[in-house]
Amino acid sequence: MLTAIRRITRAGFVGFWRSAYVSLASIFVITITLFVIGSTMFIDQLLATSLQTIQKKVDINVYFEPNAPQEEIDALKKAVEALPEVAHVTYTSREDALIKYREKNKNNEIALQALSELDENPLGADIAIQAKETSQYEGIARFIEEQRELSTADTPIINKVTYNDNKESIDTLTSIINAVERVSFIIMVVLIIAAVLITFNTIRLAIYTAREEIAIMRLVGASNMFIRGPFMVQGVMYGLVGGIFAILIIYPILTWLGPRTEAFFEFNLLTYFISNFSYIFLTLVGIGVVLGLVSSVLAVARYLRV
């Protein structure tokens, strides 16, 4: 068995170098495909980090009436926190709201003077709600409105809900996330199909070139696997070399981009690449090997009837 594997592997290497120009074409396409897949991985990571930062700044604020009973405020807060869509709820008391208002308007003498003339704190408590996904804000806002309508208090406890004010920003952010995911997926699918087709045709050409040798091997009684194996080894080599080349292309680009992405997005792509090198390397090389192997298996099954 080991001897047969060594012979098949050696034959695959010989076929790989013998058709150097044809092999180079397949490696080039697989390299470009893996480069785009790798770039998409980094772009997705960069975008996800940026969107997480933006998402933290997007929330729904529920402002309560100044005279709202504390027990009803606490009840609504607990009900919102219990929602599976909610990631975090921040409560601001009336006293804290007043402190924030004074700090925000410390240079506005008119606002501070008007505030000092009041006998009591005119501000109510509020809660800031952050969802796990931007697409979930609408459902949370609907729940709050339902709670407002179900309230049995004579005086409403909710003064204002800011969902409608933030809806445009939330919808835009959600659209960006969905659009990037769709475009990335379409590009990867197209390039994977192109890589499979070109590698498929490369193996097909290699089979045609070696047709006389294959005929001789059949006459001397070579096994099916011994005939098919070298072409499958070539496919694996295309993917392996293509994956390594893709990594070699990506690294210098990230060396240049890393400091710039850190300055603009607060996320260093080079640091991410180095810290996750094993995962990225195995992912790209693994995808390349699978692409090459699948292409060669399809070509062998279609054009090598043994």
Long-range residue pairs from 116-120, CB within 8 A, at least 24 positions apart, any chain? 120/66
Q: Do residue 97 and residue 119 come from a single domain?
A: yes
Say what the pLDDT of residue 214 is. 66
Please indicate, yes or no, whether residues 67 and 112 belong to a single structural domain of this protein: yes
Q: Which of 11-15, 129-133, 140-144, 261-265 has the lowest mean pLDDT?
A: 11-15
- Looking at 164-178, 231-245, 248-262, which range is the least confident one? 164-178
Helix (H) or strand (E) run with residue 150 in it: helix 137-150
Asked whether residue 290 carries a pLDDT value surpassing 80, the answer given is yes
pLDDT reported for residue 282: 92
Q: How far apart are CA 86 and CA 137, in angstroms?
A: 9
**Shared domain check, 28 and 157:** no
48 and 178 together in one domain: yes
- Residues 146, 224, single domain; the answer is no
- Tokens in use for 106? 């410390």
State how far the Cα of 27 lies from the Cα of 20, in Å rounded to an integer.
10
**Judgement on whether residues 113 and 209 belong to the same structural domain of the protein:** no
Query: Among the three residues 165, 199, 222, which one is the final residue of a domain in this structure?
Result: 165
Q: Which residues of 3-38 are buried (b: 16+ CB within 10 A; e: fewer)?
A: eeeeebeebbeebbeebeebbebbbebbbbbbbbbb
Buried b or exposed e, range 245-270, using 16+ CB within 10 angstroms: bbbebbeebbeebbeebeeeeebbbb
pLDDT one-digit tens code per residue, 174-208: 677 778 778 878 877 887 787 777 777 776 776 66
The DSSP symbol for 105 reads: T
- Same-domain pairing of 189 and 298: yes
Q: Which domain holds residue 119?
A: 59-165
50 & 177 share domain: yes
The total number of structural domains in the chain stands at 2
DSSP string, 247-274: HHHHHHHHHHHHHHHHHHHS--HHHHHH
Least confident of 23-37, 83-97, 108-122: 108-122
Q: Which helix (H) or strand (E) holds 159?
A: strand 158-161
Q: What is the pLDDT of residue 165?
A: 63
Average pLDDT of the residues of the chain = 80
Q: What is the CATH number of the domain that holds 80?
A: 3.30.70.3040
Mean pLDDT, to the nearest integer, of 52-81?
A: 82
Radius of gyration of the chain (CA): 31
Q: Are 117 and 9 part of one and the same domain? A: no
- 65 lies in the same domain as 41: no
Its pTM stands at: 0.61
Task: Tell which of 165, 181, 203 closes a domain.
Answer: 165
| Cα dihedral across residues 205, 209, 213, 215: positive or negative | positive
Cβ(199)–Cβ(29) below 8 Å: yes
Q: Are residues 66 and 158 in the same domain?
A: yes
Domain stops at, among 121, 145, 165: 165
Strand 126-131's sheet: what is its strand order? 86-92, 126-131, 60-64, 158-161
- pLDDT tens for 244-271 read 999 999 999 999 988 888 887 778 888 9
My answer on whether 32 and 113 are in the same domain is: no
User: What is the pLDDT, as a whole number, of residue 187?
Assistant: 79
